[in-house]
Amino acid sequence: MTQANGKAPALFWFRDDLRVRHNEALAAAADRGPVTAVYIAEDPVATGVRPLGGAARWWLHRSLERLIEDLAGGGVPLLIRSGDPRRLIPELAARNGASYVSWSRRYHRPQRDIDAEVKESLRSGGVDAHSFPGHLLAEPWTVATGQGTPYKVYTPFSRALRSVVEEGPGPGRLRLEQAPKGLAGPGADPESSRADLAELALLPSHPSRREPDWTGGLEQMWTPGEEGAWHRLGGFLAALEGGVGKQGYAEGRDYPALDVTSRLSPHLRFGEISPLAVWSAAAALEADGRDVTVFQNELMWRDFAWHRLHHRPDLATANVRADFDAFPWAWDPGELAAGTAGGRDGRRSNRAAAPGDFHADLGAWRSGVTGIPLVDAGMRELWATGHMHNRVRMVVGSLLTKNLGIHWRHGEEWFWDTLVDADPASNAFNWQWVAGCGDDAAPYFRIFNPETQAKRFDPERTYISAWVPEFGGPDYPAPVVDLRESRAMALAAYEGIRR
């Protein structure tokens, strides 16, 4: 550890980059002097940022716990605050005598505007303030078409992104698994950090939240934090290297009963591992003749969602294709504002409502009691673990929007609350994709048949049996919807708005 004596203190602002390794912004702060770090739970009312969902709050709590420990070793304190960073960051900088403040960029309004204001206010106060990349493979504005416009279609975007990643400064500039040289701080007080973290009331067990404790399955499934992220990556790469089963990643990832996918999404969501680090670690396997392009494509879909969000900040609320504004959803727009998506507070369904009522259908969908086995399995996996296999996400999304005719925003809200990996880009983008109203979306008429999908991708019903043990028995409900009939109705509704 380099001695930071004689250097001016630096302040580092952690947000969605809860890692020490490959953190360019943190390395820059460490380079300037002894580092004090801060995490701010931003007040949604004051800042306009969307409150985190329940599953994400759990993850954040666990990740910050780890980060406190990881930083304490180097004497770097992690201050935990809540409020408005436009007030708090300049205040903390002044109190600590920091002459330098840095952070990793965010890419969504209002966060971008907040960050810009903080930077401006610091600089006008004589404090050096800098932001750095770190959350994406490439900055959203560096990937553009020949005309200089943003991409709307994935395939050409992915080609352009790949060349940016491979030709740009790329992952090579960051040595894998290396902490910033000389990261040190004035001395940590982890106990007080943990106390401040508890104050944030992120867990359902906090007395201020009158929620049942739904975290058991999440605790069992995940290890939030940087070490957990690298462990997950290591296991995934080892499987890739050894050849995953008989099918390999490219096909095996479509089978929800197989443990083939990386499950890195929540770690990436909270920035516990850098996407460039994941990219280059996978690329290293190419030397052994492994085809990693399919996996890299998944990483690039993530960047594509952020690329689209950067150019469409309202991605989570407004149809990208405006003709869908006229689509006759079974949806009362007031319901969203009224907060039906309260989610992980114990209100899981409304089974008392009349059949055919979309409240009942939405409740059955959320609770995994639609009577459609693959859908119920997926929704139960989601509730229990905070995660759902990617192919099943497409199937449940198709059922909600097309067969049940429920607006995709209801699905987006539920996923936002229950997924550990939900972020403003991927969640919104993929719901618009599945609903058919996004750029480069699945055409509306591409309606999944959950029975066909189950036959094809869960032929032994391994996944279904695991999550819906009563399937086939007398306790399993009848389907809430006739697939054939509802498909025809969806197609007719789509015809209606095409004209």
Partner DNA sequence: TGAAATGTTGGGGCG
Partner DNA sequence: ACGCCCCAACATTTC
Output the smallest distance, CB 114 to DNA, in A: 31
The region of 85-93, 124-132, 273-281, 487-495 touching DNA under the rule CB under 7 A is 487-495
3-state secondary structure 76-130: CCEEEEEECHHHHHHHHHHHCCCCEEEEECCCCCCHHHHHHHHHHHHHHCCCEEE
Select 30 or 447, whichever has its Cβ closest to DNA. Answer: 447
For DNA, the closer CB: 22 or 307: 307
> Cα angle at 266 between 340 and 449, to 5 degrees?
60
Q: Is 447 in the site for DNA (CB under 7 A)?
A: yes
Q: Which amino acid is at 56?
A: A
Nearer to DNA, 304 or 383 (CB): 304
410-414: long-range contacts, CB 8 A cutoff, minimum separation 24: 410/331, 410/335, 410/336, 410/340, 410/341, 410/362, 412/316, 413/336, 413/340, 413/341, 413/343, 414/341, 414/343, 414/366
CB-count exposure of residue 102 (10 Å: 0-12, 13-18, 19+)? buried
**Of 401, 403, 346, which is closest to residue 372 (Cα–Cα)?**
403
Q: Which is nearer to DNA, 273 or 490 (CB)?
A: 490
Question: Of 453, 458, 463, 480, which one interacts with DNA (CB under 7 A)?
Answer: 453
Query: Binding residue for DNA (CB under 7 A) from 122, 315, 372, 442?
Result: 442
Length of the chain measured in residues: 499
CB of 495 to DNA, least distance (A): 6
261 binds DNA (CB under 7 A): no
Q: Coil, strand or helix: which one is 478?
A: coil
293-311 and 426-435 helices, crossing angle to 10°: 90
Residue 358's alpha-carbon distances to 112, 365, 400, in angstroms, are 37, 10, 10
Shortest separation between residue 166's beta carbon and DNA, angstroms: 21
Q: How far is the CB of 358 from DNA (least distance, A)?
A: 22
Among 448, 467, 468, 486, binds DNA (CB under 7 A): 448
* In the complex, minimum distance from the CB of residue 163 to DNA, in angstroms, rounded to a whole number: 19
Closer of 226 and 254 to DNA (Cβ): 254
Q: In angstroms, what is the minimal distance from the CB of 118 to DNA?
A: 35
How many residues sit close enough to DNA to count as binding (CB under 7 A)? 22
Residue 63 C-beta: closest distance to DNA, Å: 26
Q: Which two tokens stand for residue 155?
A: 């395939």
Window contacting DNA (CB under 7 A); options: 127-135, 203-211, 353-361, 390-398? 390-398
Q: According to the binding rule CB under 7 A, does residue 158 interact with DNA?
A: no
Part in contact with DNA (CB under 7 A); list of ranges 1-9, 46-54, 348-356, 450-458:
450-458
Question: What is the distance in angstroms between the CA of the first residue and the CA of the last residue of the chain?
Answer: 68
Per-residue binder mask for DNA (CB under 7 A), 137-156, x = binder: -----------------x--
In the chain, the amino acid numbered 318 is: A
Q: Which member of 98, 122, 394, 406 binds DNA (CB under 7 A)?
A: 394
Structure tokens at 123: 């600089």
Does 106 engage in binding with DNA (CB under 7 A)? no
Q: Which is nearer to DNA, 36 or 261 (CB)?
A: 261
Q: CB of residue 187 vs DNA: minimum separation in angstroms?
A: 46
Contacting DNA (CB under 7 A), which of 173, 181, 351, 446? Answer: 446
Considering the complex, what minimum distance in angstroms separates the CB of residue 276 from DNA? 20
Which residues, numbered 285-304, are part of the site for DNA (CB under 7 A)? 297-298, 301
CB nearer DNA, residue 357 or residue 451: 451
At its nearest, how many Å lie between DNA and the CB of residue 52? 25
Shortest gap between Cβ of 443 and DNA (angstroms)?
7
For 11-79, the DSSP string reads EEEESS---STT-HHHHHHHHHS-EEEEEEEE-HHHH-PPPPPHHHHHHHHHHHHHHHHHHHTTT--EE
The closest alpha carbon to 364, from 334, 400, 418, belongs to 400
What is the DSSP secondary-structure string of 422-435?
--TTHHHHHHHHHH
Q: Does 307 bind DNA (CB under 7 A)?
A: no
| Type of residue found at 314 | D
To DNA, the closest distance from the beta carbon of 363 in angstroms equals 25
Residue 396 has which token pair? 């449940």
Give yes or no for a contact between 391 and 453, defined as CB atoms under 8 angstroms apart: yes
The DSSP call for residue 206 is S
Binding of DNA by 482 (CB under 7 A): no
Residue 247 found at the interface with DNA (CB under 7 A) = no
Q: Where are the alpha helices (DSSP H) in 207-292?
A: 216-221, 226-242, 248-252, 265-269, 275-283
Q: Which of these ranges, 126-134, 319-327, 379-387, 447-455, lies near DNA under the rule CB under 7 A?
A: 447-455
Q: Can residue 159 be called a binding residue for DNA (CB under 7 A)?
A: no
CA gap 37, 170 in Å, rounded: 26
**Binding residues for DNA (CB under 7 A):** 154, 297-298, 301, 390-391, 394, 442-443, 445-449, 452-453, 456, 483-484, 487, 491, 495
